[in-house]
Structure 1
């Protein structure tokens, strides 16, 4: 048999639906017949292997298999997401947020790969509460308190001239919020935020027995008098004097305020017949 590469004619093909292993394909170029293995032919076309989907089955597939046609879905921008072609010709997905320039933004570092969402913290007198999917800002109730005494005859014992002591007597507790007053005349601050409060006192005082006594009142915080709150009156035994004082005091939680009285002249006792001690923020 002669092996010729030219002048051959093929006909009478047998139909098949697959290619057998080891099969050859033939082709001709410039009148010359050539043959190539089927494996090399497929490799030359670059169609070896298969395209399949991977990853979570619940995800959105980029590959859309439609029968014998494999489609590649376009990636579109969505709410807050920007899709674009990068400088390296890749698909780039990035957030698409902006922050208003008015006021203080909650979304920070919008150009960073990971923007920050600022927390809301309540400032002085403001409470921030997170409930479900919203935040509520509310103003705290302003603290206030008051105690008073009327018609008192109990004398405050003076141990040393010029040294103030807590006023003696049974006080009545008035309306209060953020404070707790008691019958000794003490008012305790219950709040957790340190704040400056205005303390005001009005008192009617007299000496127990001596004449021409320089009596005084002072505001005390945690048992220590505020030097600048001292008010002095000269009083005779048969007379009473009305004194008023006012002072701003910084209070932390559990700090307390009281009314103190003293005698700058002698150790003659002092009677606080009437008094009002009040605090307000």
Structure 2
């Protein structure tokens, strides 16, 4: 990692309800990404347990806890920044959980914790999704410093709410993280479109690791994990299998773009706060 450059990897998995199986897959892919030169590695949404709502509470844990300890130790061993996609977090005194993303430093330190704000309560062609039945929304917008870059955290359905990303950009975010488990029905039409839009309108890199394939409850997730540059160009994309997208992020070029094409110059954060 040079002064204003990073290499990012967006990991793609097809997680199951079996936490130990998922942990082995995640560790293998994280190690492969680090060996390929990545110094910022990211996992998808609910990578440690996915597909059966009835086992979510069994797999929920506190933060810090066993899964974040595992991620922190792996970040320290490999000397990387590691975004732990999202996991299910226990909420004291509540029957619901949080869908929570964590970011670790190469030292193993937990740098940031973000709880998904926008919950996936929708009807699509084949079924109804009610994430709020098991998940409580978060309330805090989160950025964190990661080496030469400022990272903005989000999770999946958040990507449909541009005001969140504008607030992250106004808070200094240069890399927007979007770990996801997009449905096949919405993903084939909107996934790339939304990621490229968030990159262009905020003049930021977007790193979007995703779930792919059919889940234990029968649903299909879209996959196509990708990394997008601030001009909206897709730098890397995963095919339909486990793996990772890998791309260099030139933060010096991003800084120049923001100076030469000052789309963020008219800063009125009060507008966006009122929109959330």
Could you tell me the TM-score, scaled by structure 1's length? 0.23
Q: Write 1 or 2 for the structure with the bigger share of strand.
A: 1
Work out which of the two has the higher radius of gyration on C-alpha atoms and give 1 or 2: 1
Answer 1 or 2: which has greater helix percent.
Answer: 2
